[in-house]
C-alpha cells in the first residue's frame, strides 16, 4: 500500500528538495500567466464597475445576479437566521467573544508618551484605518469562522466603515452562505456584497457604483484571490501578505500521541489540493506509527477531502525526520508555517528556539481546529513563509500609529548643533534656517 506521507531525512535532502518543500503554494500565486489574467479582471472592474462584477458572477460562478442585488438585503439577513442551527450560532458567538477579548488587550493603550531625554516628550497615538474590506471565501465550503476572525478584530479596532465581500453559491440564484450572514449580523456588519473572488477584491480596492472603495483589504483565499490582493496594492489599496492555501507544521517527539498527530495533520490537509501538512520529528518510529493512524483516519474522510489530504501530505508535505529537536526548530523556522503545533515533552523550551510562525500551539490539548474557531488567537494567518515578516490579522492590522513629540526650549537649544551639522552636511539650507530662526528669536528675547 502506498504511504500517505512522503518521508524524507532533512540531512539527506539536497537543495532542490528543500526548496520544493519550503516553496509550497507560492508558485501558483506568483504565476505570470495567472497574474496577467487577474490584472485583466481588475482593469475590467476599474473600467466597468458593477457591470464587470455581474459578468464575473455569470462567467465564474454561473450566477445571474443583477447589479441591484449585489448588496445583501435585510430580508436575506432575516431569512439566514432561520436557516442556521442554534449550535452553529452559539459557536459563532463563542468565537466572537474569545477573539474580542484577545484583541481588546492589543488596543488597550491608544496613546502613550514618555520623556526619552531631558525636555523631550515622545510617544504614539493609535487610530483605526479609515475603511476596511473583508473577503470571505466560499469556493470549497461555508466559512463563517473566517468572517468572525476578520470582522471581530476590525470592529474592536474601531474601523468606521467595514465592507464584506462573499462569493455566492455557484450555480444558484446568488445565495450567500446564511451562516456568514449570521456572523455579520452578530458583528453589526450590514454592508455585505456578493461578488466573485478576484473581482470582488478589485471592487473593494477600487470601488464601483454599488460597492464602496476601502483603504485596506484582507482575507484568505485561493491563489487568484491572493493575486488580486497583490495587484491591487499598486492601485493604492493596502493588503495583508499572504493568506493563501492552508498549511501546517507539527513538531513532535516520541512522547506525542501518534493518533492525535494523525488527526491534527489532517486538519489543514483537508482544505484543498494546494494545502500542505508537515510533520517534523526526531523519531522514525513515530512516523511509522502516525502513518498507520493516518491510513485509517483518511479512509473515513469523504471525497474530495480525502484526495485533498493525500496531496497535502504526499506531494505538498509529509514527514521530515531530523536528528534532534534543535534541528527540528531550524526546519520549522525555515518553513515559517501558517499554523504550528508543538507536541514534545518540553514545548516551552522548544518555543524559545522558534522565531517564525503565524501561530504556535503548545501541546496536544491545543489542536489547530480549536484555534481556527474559538480559541481567541488569530486564525487568518500569513502563508508561504510570510510569517517571517508579518503576523496574523488582529485589531492591530486595522490600526495605524502616529508619532507624537514635544521639545522644550532647553532641549531645542541643546540639540540644535547636531541638527545644524547634519543639515549642512546633507545640503538642506531650509532645515538649517528653521533652527537658526529659533536661535535668533531666542537671542532677541534675551
Domain of 213, CATH number, reads 3.40.50.1980
Q: Are residues 52 and 131 in the same domain?
A: yes
Q: Are residues 301 and 347 in the same domain?
A: yes
Q: Are residues 258 and 229 in the same domain?
A: no
Whole-number pLDDT of residue 95: 98
Mark whether 271 is an active-site residue: no
CA distances in angstroms from 232 to 138, 163, 167, 386, listed in the order given: 21, 16, 18, 18
Q: Are residues 233 and 303 in the same domain?
A: no
- CB under 8 Å to 424, separation ≥6 — which residues? 432
- CB under 8 Å to 300, separation ≥6 — which residues? none
Note whether residue 422 is domain-resident: yes
Read off the C-alpha cell for 21. Answer: 518543500
Does the pLDDT at position 1 exceed 80? no
pTM of the model: 0.93
Question: Catalytic pick from 186, 268, 270, 338?
Answer: 338
The C-alpha atoms of residue 323 and residue 440 are separated, in whole angstroms, by 70
Q: Are residues 203 and 126 in the same domain?
A: yes
Note whether residue 403 is domain-resident: no
Residue 29 — very low, low, confident or very high, per pLDDT cuts 50/70/90? Answer: confident
* Residues 193/203, Cβ–Cβ less than 8 Å: yes
From 206, 239, 272, the end of a domain falls on 239
Mark whether 238 is an active-site residue: no
Element (H, E) at 101: helix 86-106
Whole-number pLDDT of residue 25: 63
Does the pLDDT at position 445 exceed 80? no
Read off the C-alpha cell for 175. Answer: 445565495
The C-alpha atoms of residue 135 and residue 268 are separated, in whole angstroms, by 20
In order, the DSSP letters of 349-403 are: HHHTT----SEEEESTTS-HHHHHHTSSS--S---TTGGGT-----GGGGEEEEE
Q: Are residues 93 and 226 in the same domain?
A: yes
Percent of the chain exceeding pLDDT 70 equals 99
Q: Are residues 95 and 199 in the same domain?
A: yes
Q: Are residues 130 and 50 in the same domain?
A: yes
Mean pLDDT, all residues of the chain? 95
* DSSP E strand stretches across 85-181: 111-117, 120-128, 132-135, 162-166
Give the pLDDT confidence of 270-313 residue by residue, as tens digits: 998 989 999 999 999 999 999 999 999 999 999 999 999 999 99
Does the pLDDT at position 110 exceed 90? no
Note whether residue 256 is domain-resident: yes
Instruction: Give CA angle at 294 (290, 296), nearest 5°.
Output: 125
Whole-number pLDDT of residue 446: 64
Read off the C-alpha cell for 111. Answer: 496613546
CA distances in angstroms from 225 to 79, 319, 343, listed in the order given: 29, 29, 33
* Residues 126/217, Cβ–Cβ less than 8 Å: no
Note whether residue 435 is domain-resident: yes
Note whether residue 2 is domain-resident: no
In which domain, by residue range, is 233 found?
Answer: 32-239
Question: Catalytic pick from 271, 293, 339, 356?
Answer: 339
From 239, 257, 278, the end of a domain falls on 239
The C-alpha atoms of residue 344 and residue 325 are separated, in whole angstroms, by 9
Note whether residue 96 is domain-resident: yes
- Total number of domains constituting the chain: 3
Note whether residue 14 is domain-resident: yes
The 3-state DSSP class for residue 41 equals helix
Q: Are residues 188 and 306 in the same domain?
A: no
Q: Are residues 54 and 200 in the same domain?
A: yes
Give the pLDDT confidence of 392-442 residue by residue, as tens digits: 999 999 999 999 999 999 999 999 999 999 999 999 999 999 999 999 887
In order, the DSSP letters of 290-345 are: HHHHHHHHHHHSPTTHHHHHHHHHTTS-EEEE-SSHHHHHHHHHHH--SEEEEEST
Read off the C-alpha cell for 251. Answer: 513538531
Q: Are residues 432 and 334 in the same domain?
A: no
Residue 12 — very low, low, confident or very high, per pLDDT cuts 50/70/90? Answer: very high
The arithmetic mean of pLDDT across residues 313-337, rounded, is 97
Does the pLDDT at position 140 exceed 70? no
From 239, 260, 276, the end of a domain falls on 239
Give the pLDDT confidence of 352-382 residue by residue, as tens digits: 999 999 999 999 999 999 999 999 999 999 9
Q: Are residues 231 and 252 in the same domain?
A: no
Note whether residue 380 is domain-resident: no
Whole-number pLDDT of residue 413: 95
The arithmetic mean of pLDDT across residues 209-234, rounded, is 94
Residues, the chain: 446
Does the pLDDT at position 121 exceed 70? yes
Does the pLDDT at position 325 exceed 70? yes
Q: In 3-state terms, the chain is what percent helix, strand and coil (to 5)?
A: 50, 15, 35
Give the pLDDT confidence of 231-279 residue by residue, as tens digits: 999 999 999 877 878 999 999 999 999 999 999 999 999 998 989 999 9
Whole-number pLDDT of residue 31: 87
Amino acid at each position: 500500500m502506498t504511504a500517505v506521507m512522503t518521508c524524507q531525512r532533512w540531512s539527506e535532502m539536497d537543495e532542490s528538495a528543500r526548496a520544493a518543500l519550503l516553496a509550497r503554494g507560492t508558485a501558483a500565486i506568483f504565476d505570470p500567466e495567472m497574474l496577467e489574467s487577474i490584472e485583466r479582471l481588475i482593469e475590467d472592474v476599474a473600467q466597468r464597475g458593477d457591470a464587470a462584477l455581474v459578468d464575473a458572477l455569470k462567467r465564474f460562478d454561473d450566477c445571474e445576479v443583477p447589479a441591484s442585488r449585489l448588496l445583501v438585503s435585510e430580508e436575506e439577513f432575516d431569512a439566514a437566521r432561520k436557516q442556521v442551527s442554534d449550535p452553529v450560532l452559539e459557536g459563532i458567538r463563542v468565537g466572537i467573544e474569545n477573539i474580542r477579548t484577545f484583541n481588546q488587550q492589543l488596543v488597550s493603550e491608544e496613546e502613550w508618551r514618555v520623556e526619552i531625554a531631558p525636555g523631550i516628550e515622545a510617544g504614539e497615538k493609535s487610530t483605526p484605518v479609515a475603511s476596511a474590506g473583508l473577503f470571505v471565501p466560499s469556493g470549497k465550503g461555508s466559512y463563517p469562522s473566517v468572517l468572525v476572525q476578520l470582522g471581530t478584530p476590525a470592529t474592536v479596532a474601531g474601523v468606521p466603515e467595514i465592507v464584506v465581500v462573499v462569493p455566492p453559491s455557484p450555480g444558484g440564484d446568488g445565495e450567500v452562505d446564511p451562516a456568514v450572514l449570521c456572523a455579520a449580523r452578530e458583528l453589526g456588519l450590514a454592508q455585505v456584497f456578493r461578488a466573485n473572488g478576484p473581482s470582488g477584491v478589485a471592487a473593494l480596492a477600487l470601488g464601483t457604483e454599488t460597492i464602496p472603495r476601502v483603504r485596506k483589504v484582507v482575507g484568505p483565499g485561493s491563489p487568484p484571490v491572493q493575486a488580486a490582493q497583490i495587484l491591487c496594492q499598486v492601485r493604492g489599496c493596502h493588503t495583508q501578505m499572504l493568506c493563501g492555501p492552508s498549511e501546517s507544521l507539527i513538531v513532535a517527539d516520541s512522547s506525542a500521541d501518534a493518533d492525535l498527530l494523525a488527526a491534527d495533520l489532517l486538519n489543514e490537509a483537508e482544505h484543498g489540493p494546494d494545502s500542505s501538512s508537515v510533520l517534523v520529528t526526531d523519531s522514525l518510529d513515530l512516523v511509522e506509527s502516525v502513518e498507520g493512524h493516518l491510513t485509517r483516519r483518511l479512509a473515513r474522510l469523504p471525497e474530495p477531502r480525502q484526495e485533498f489530504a493525500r496531496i497535502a501530505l504526499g506531494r505538498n508535505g509529509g514527514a521530515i525526520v531530523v536528528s534532534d529537536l534543535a534541528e527540528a526548530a531550524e526546519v520549522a523556522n525555515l518553513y515559517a508555517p501558517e499554523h504550528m503545533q508543538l507536541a514534545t515533552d518540553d514545548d516551552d523550551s522548544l518555543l524559545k528556539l522558534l522565531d517564525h510562525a503565524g501561530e504556535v500551539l503548545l501541546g496536544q490539548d491545543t489542536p489547530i481546529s480549536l484555534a481556527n474557531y474559538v480559541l481567541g488567537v488569530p486564525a487568518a494567518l500569513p502563508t508561504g513563509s510570510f510569517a517571517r515578516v508579518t503576523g496574523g490579522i488582529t485589531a492591530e492590522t486595522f490600526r495605524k500609529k502616529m508619532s507624537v513629540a514635544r521639545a522644550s526650549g532647553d532641549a531645542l537649544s541643546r540639540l540644535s548643533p547636531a541638527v545644524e551639522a547634519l543639515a549642512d552636511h546633507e545640503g538642506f539650507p531650509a532645515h538649517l534656517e528653521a533652527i537658526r530662526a529659533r536661535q535668533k528669536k531666542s537671542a532677541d528675547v534675551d
